[in-house]
Amino acid sequence: MTQKSKRPFDNCPVCGGQLEEKEVEKLLLGGVDTASVKVRADVCLHCGERLYSPETVKRFEEIREKLKLREVADFQSMGKSFKVTA
């Protein structure tokens, strides 16, 4: 008996390409601050589309809200960001 995949999609919903689980970095914006988070995602090997689990998306929302409220005491500082006008 074949075990069903835990993925909601067998192939990429954008292009139909093959999906592979990978560790990726996601940048999240909240207010004027940015957070970098490493998470697992299904990534399309053809177009690069990333599919995140509902739990991961919920965590993204929590992080964005903390950034907006400047509740970042439990976040690790990575330096400063700068805006450059071309």
For the stretch 57-86, pLDDT in tens is: 999 999 999 999 999 999 999 888 888 998
Q: How many domains does one find in the chain?
A: 1
Q: Which residues contact 28 (CB under 8 A, 6 or more apart)?
A: 34, 35, 36, 37, 60, 63, 64, 67
Residue span of the structural domain in which 25 resides: 19-69
Within a domain: residue 30? yes
Q: pTM of the prediction?
A: 0.81
Within a domain: residue 52? yes
For the stretch 45-58, pLDDT in tens is 999 999 999 999 99
Within a domain: residue 62? yes
Within a domain: residue 51? yes
Within a domain: residue 77? no
